[in-house]
Amino acid sequence: MRTMTLRKNAPISDHPLTVVDSTEPTPGLHELLLRVQTCGICHTDLHIIEGELAPQKLPLIPGHQIVAKVAATGSEVTRFLQGDRVGVPWLNQTCGACKFCSSGRENLCDQARFTGYHVDGGFADYAVIHEDFAYAFPERFDEVHAAPLLCAGVIGYRSLRLSNIQPGGRLGLFGFGASAHLACQIAVHWGCEVAVFTRSPEHRRLAEKLGASWTGNSDSQPPHQLDSAILFAPVGNLVHSALTMLDKGGTLAINAIHLSPIPELTYTQLYYERTIRSVANSTRQDVNELLQLAAAIPLNVETEVFALTDANRALRLLKESKIQGAGVLVVSE
C-alpha cells in the first residue's frame, strides 16, 4: 500500500514525508481494517513532523482525521460491518481504568495513544483502529467535508465548552483556520456575537461570511469586551491580547497542543477572576456530540483538497496560513 511516511523530523519545507510502499496492516480481534478515503491535515501534524512534539514512533505515518470504508473486520467486532463508512480521530486508545477514564476525562488518560503520533495514521491507503474508537458519520457529509470534523470540529467544540461561553454571549476567536471556522458557526448557532482576530484578509472575509459580527487584527479593539475567548493560533504573545479584551470573570481557552512561550503577565491582566485554561485532546463523548450538532446546524465545512502524494505541499501551505478553512488529502475514491 502507498503511504506518506516520516522517517526523520525536519521542517516541512524540506519535504520530510516520502512515498513508501508498505505492507497492508492486519486487524486484530476487535479491530477494523480501513480503506482510507480522505484524511484531514492540521497543525498537530506539523508539530509532529517538525519535531515540536517529542517523537513517539519513527518511521511514522501521520494523519488523524480519517474517513474510510471498513475493508475487513476482526473476528470479535460487533459495532461495524464491512463496507460501513467510519471516522477515526486523534484519540486512538485509552486504558479505560485510571481515575481520568473513570471520571469522564479519558482525554487526560496517562496511557492514551494518539492516531498519527503513537500509532500509524491516515496518510496511507489502509489503517487499523479498535472498533470502540471509530465513529459512524451523518449522511449529509461526504468524505471530503467529513474529515475536518474529526479534529478541527471536535477540538473547536470542546474549546467552546471549556471557554464557558453562554448562548448570546460575546466570544473572541484568535486565529481563523480549520478549527475556528467551525467553532464560529456553532457559536453563531448559539446566538453569540463572534469577534474574529486574524492577520489574513481572506480569513476575515470567510469569518464574516460565516456570521462573525466583527473582524480585525489581534491588536484591534472590538466594540465590546469579551465574555470568553479561544486562542487557536499557537502564538503565546496573543495571550496578552486576549486578556486585554476579556471582561471581568471571562475565560480564555487555549486550543493548542504546542504553544510558543507566553511572555510574563501582570497580575492586573488576570485579576477580576479571569481564567486561563488549556484544551487537551477530546473524548469520545465530544466526538459523538459534535457529529450530531454538525448535522443539525448543519456546519458549512470549507475545504481545500490535495492528493495524498502532495501532503508536503499541503502542510507547507497550512503553515503559511494559505489554506481557506481545512485542508484534506484525498487518498481513494
Give 274-277's long-range contacts (Cβ < 8 A, gap of 24+). Answer: 274/243, 274/246, 274/248, 274/249, 274/250, 275/164, 275/250, 275/251, 276/239, 276/243, 276/251, 276/252, 277/162, 277/251, 277/252, 277/253
Backbone φ, ψ for residue 133 (5° rounding): -115, 25
Q: Are 306 and 331 in contact (CB under 8 A)?
A: no
Q: What is the pLDDT of residue 182?
A: 96
| Residue 218 pLDDT grade (very low, low, confident, very high; cuts 50, 70, 90) | confident
**Which of these CATH numbers, 3.10.100.10, 1.10.3720.10, 3.90.180.10, 3.40.1190.20, describes 2-151+282-330?**
3.90.180.10
Share of the chain above pLDDT 70, in %: 100
C-alpha 287 chain-centroid distance = 11
Q: How confident is the model at residue 303 (pLDDT cuts 50, 70, 90)?
A: very high
Residue 219 is predicted with a pLDDT of 84
What DSSP line would sit under 191-218, residue for residue? T-EEEEE-S-HHHHHHHHHTT-SEEE-T
Please give the mean pLDDT across all residues of the chain: 96
* Interhelix angle 284-296/152-162, nearest 10 degrees: 100
Question: Beta strand 85-88 with 66-73: parallel, antiparallel or unpaired?
Answer: antiparallel
pLDDT, residue 314, reads 98
Residue with cell 454538525: 294
pLDDT at 42 over 80: yes
pLDDT in tens, 221-260: 999 999 999 999 999 999 999 999 999 999 999 998 889 9
Instruction: Answer yes or no: is pLDDT of 106 > 80.
Output: yes
In this model, does residue 127 exceed pLDDT 90? yes
Q: What is the CATH number of domain 154-278?
A: 3.40.50.720
- Please say whether the beta carbons of 282 and 257 come within 8 A: no
Distance from C-alpha of 229 to C-alpha of 242, rounded to nearest angstrom: 7
| The pLDDT of residue 326 is above 90 | yes
Percent residues over pLDDT 90 in the chain: 95
Say whether pLDDT at 333 is over 80.
no
Q: What is the mean pLDDT of residues 40-64?
A: 96
Please report the pLDDT score of residue 48 as a whole number: 97
Spell out the domain ranges in the chain: 2-151+282-330, 154-278
DSSP lists the bridge partners of residue 277 as 253
What CA–CA distance (Å, rounded) separates 19 from 124? 9
pLDDT tens-digit map of 141-160: 999 999 999 999 999 999 99
Tell me the mean pLDDT in the region 133-143: 94
68: which 3 cell numbers? 474510510
Maximum pairwise Cα distance, the chain: 60
User: In the chain, what is the straight-line distance between the N-terminal and C-terminal CA atoms, in Å?
Assistant: 15
In this structure, the dihedral spanned by the alpha carbons of residues 60, 66, 68 and 72, taken in order and rounded to 10 degrees, is 50
DSSP, residue by residue, 301-333: --EEEEEGGGHHHHHHHHHTT--SSEEEEE---
Residue 333 C-alpha cell reads as: 475514491
